[in-house]
Structure 1
């Protein structure tokens, strides 16, 4: 674990900024904080560079966790999904591989 680059004052300000929406910081339609967005925000606010992994570690260290949507999107069309699974997926899905004898050796081919 590497030493933290953000001071306690920096962290307090970052936490305040994260509680605001991503839209308040110029991020578009998707209103979720991603690690890349948090990394960009840290760079803009404090001129400190973190890697994506470093941002993940930083957030976990301070008690933040990954959030997953609790419900499905309102725009989800179950009928369109069922149609796609029935008609499109079988055409796209690669065929199953049939059984064929192979050599157990990586260097020597099977005889016969």
Structure 2
């Protein structure tokens, strides 16, 4: 998906996504299946599979938000 200049996720949306992923982690730990987690959190099974893999490989840090990507690569003059 492409975003207009200045687009992307807001801090609030990024935090909301992280809360959902951390909720999924709690369900992983309780033994829930991917399909059950996806239905309960209203996300795709593929997303849950990806989160579970990241969680297995890197623990809770693997599903936490990486934060804002930083400043844009293009200057305001280059965008205009």
What is the TM-score normalised by the length of structure 2?
A: 0.35
Using CA pairs under 8 Å that are at least 6 residues apart, name the structure with larger relative contact order, 1 or 2: 2
Higher helix share: 2
- TM-score by length of structure 1 reads 0.28
